[in-house]
Amino acid sequence: MLIDTYSKKIFNLAYRFAGSYEEAEDLTQEIFVKLHHSLFKFDVEKNFTAWLLTLSRNHLIDRYRKTKWEKTSRDSFDEHHLSADERFNPEEGILQRETKRMVWDGLKQLSPDTRMVIILRDIQGKSYDEIAEVMDLPLGTVKSRVNRGRLQLAKTLKDKREVLHGTL
Amino acid sequence: MAPCEGIEHLLPSYLEEDLSPQERRDVETHLESCPACRTLLALLEETALSLADMPELEPPHSLKEKLYCIPAGKRITFAFSDFLRRPMVQPVMAAASILFILFSIYTVHPRRQEINRAVDREFHRGVRAVSQVYAKAESWTSSLGEHRDTVLDTLKKIGLFGQGKGE
């Protein structure tokens, strides 16, 4: 039941955070092991999804600090996303796809906390209140981190485009 | 014109329509005359669209199979480790560890025969001491029995049991 409901969500969170498909598999497994160990601590009056996301966030950031995935590069965007994107239409826009590639690569340049809030807010569409609960941060701090991350990604996109146009 | 640095950090909130009316007016006035910030705003919009449109991946089937295997294996480990962590069990575990260490020392000790003899001697000495105490207690009981009638008569006479009054 838990696996059917949450494995996809957790796997995607781990993949977007770590950027490596194999790493995301390992991380998802570790998070579910932790979940089974900690399930008895869950307060039934609280929101389970937020609780699980907090547990996942803690694990992902702890693992990041211990292993520093940045030493290894992120998977290429096309490697797994191309087959997953059923809406992809070659005529729809090569530029849009290129933008997605650059934004995906740009995620690795964000600090782990900033990357996590960007994933929760802009990819998973969580509210600021939910993110504040998951990250255990004040609402204002979450908003400023999201804004900082967005600006950083937009500037990375600009730099990458300039490099691309410079080489053409 | 307000400097770009003062406006840049407001642009993400401007897109989300999360600014006060005054801040909004400041941003719009700045944008009218600043192509660099207009470009940045367009890049922010593109970034937001790209992130929102990231396709969700299906986890591999092999991963789900591994996840289904977790509960059974891990719950047993958890239950046992949880039992060992109970405060009540810890003194027992400590005592068992000490006994185990003593037994290990005994089994590998080169003068084990002497230890056996010493333990045997001390054991028998203990048994002898206990039997002596027991024998002494028995002799006191029998001597008390001999004087029982005399003691009871005396007690009756002084009326300790309330019978002396009638006599």
Domains of chain A as residue ranges with CATH: 2-167 (1.20.140.160)
B contacts of A7 (beta carbons < 8 Å): 59, 63-64, 67
Tens digit of each residue's pLDDT (9 = 90 or more) over A36-74: 888 888 888 888 999 999 999 999 998 888 876 555 567
Q: Kindly state the tokens that stand for A162.
A: 């300039």
3-state secondary structure B58-87: CCCHHHHHHHHHHHHHHHHHHHHHHHHCCC
Q: Kindly state the tokens that stand for A13.
A: 């969170």
Closest by CA position to A9, among listed A68, A57, A67, A45: A57
Q: What is the reported pLDDT for B67?
A: 87
Closest residue in A to B8 (Cα–Cα): A151
Q: Among B39, B57, B74, select the one facing A80 at the smallest CB separation.
A: B57
User: Shortest Cα distance from A151 to chain B (angstroms)?
Assistant: 7
Query: What number is the average pLDDT over the span B78-101?
Result: 79
Tens digit of each residue's pLDDT (9 = 90 or more) over B4-62: 888 999 999 999 999 999 999 999 999 999 999 999 999 999 999 999 988 888 888 88
A contacts of B50 (beta carbons < 8 Å): 96, 99-100, 103
Residues in chain A: 168
The answer to whether B126 faces chain A, any CB pair under 8 Å, is: no
Check whether B167 has a pLDDT greater than 80.
no
- What band does A145 get if pLDDT is binned at 50, 70 and 90? very high
Residue that wins the pLDDT comparison between B101 and A87: B101
Q: Where are the domains of chain B?
A: 4-52, 123-161
ipTM reported for the complex, 2 dp: 0.85
Q: Is residue B116 within 8 Å of B107, Cβ to Cβ?
A: no
Which of B15, B53, B56, B61 best probes binding to A when mutated, by most A CB atoms within 10 angstroms?
B56
Check whether B128 has a pLDDT greater than 80.
yes
Q: What is the reported pLDDT for B165?
A: 47
> Worst-scoring range by mean pLDDT, A84-88, B90-94, B100-104?
A84-88
CA dist B21 → A72, A140, B6 (Å): 45, 19, 16
Q: Among A7, A36, A87, select the one facing B71 at the smallest CB separation.
A: A36
Check whether B140 has a pLDDT greater than 80.
yes
Q: What is the reported pLDDT for B163?
A: 54
Tens digit of each residue's pLDDT (9 = 90 or more) over A94-111: 788 888 889 999 998 899
Q: Do A8 and B59 touch (CB under 8 A)?
A: yes
The answer to whether A146 faces chain B, any CB pair under 8 Å, is: yes
The answer to whether A128 faces chain B, any CB pair under 8 Å, is: no
